[in-house]
Amino acid sequence: MKISGDGKLLRIFLGESDRYEGRPLYEAIVRKARELGLAGATVWMRLSEDLPVLVEIVDSEDNVRAALPHFDAMIEAAGGGGLVTLEKAEIIKYTHGAAAR
């Protein structure tokens, strides 16, 4: 089944060493995104001494905006370092297990 429509791409730039409740902040954010039912989250890393980390989350604008306060609180609790951007995204999602109609 194919699901499509307008959405938002949330980008969160962090450091690899940022921690939240004992685990890497990027991992905690991805887990929170899944817990909140957001459509998808990906983490990108590049090699350096303190690896920069990019978490990308895509879902509807309403869902992304509803999740932002959770991520803001997590970033603040981890020391407040980071950058968050919000961009328009066209969502084209293919899912398994359901026949296209």
Query: pLDDT category, 2, cuts 50, 70, 90?
Result: low
In CATH terms, the fold of domain 2-94 is Alpha-Beta Plaits (3.30.70)
Rounded to two decimals, the pTM is: 0.62
Are 87 and 9 in contact by the 8 Å Cβ rule? The answer is yes
Are 1 and 98 in contact by the 8 Å Cβ rule? The answer is yes
Q: DSSP state, 72?
A: H
| Residue 80 or residue 41, greater confidence | 41
Among 35-39, 83-87, 92-96, name the one with the lowest average pLDDT.
Answer: 92-96
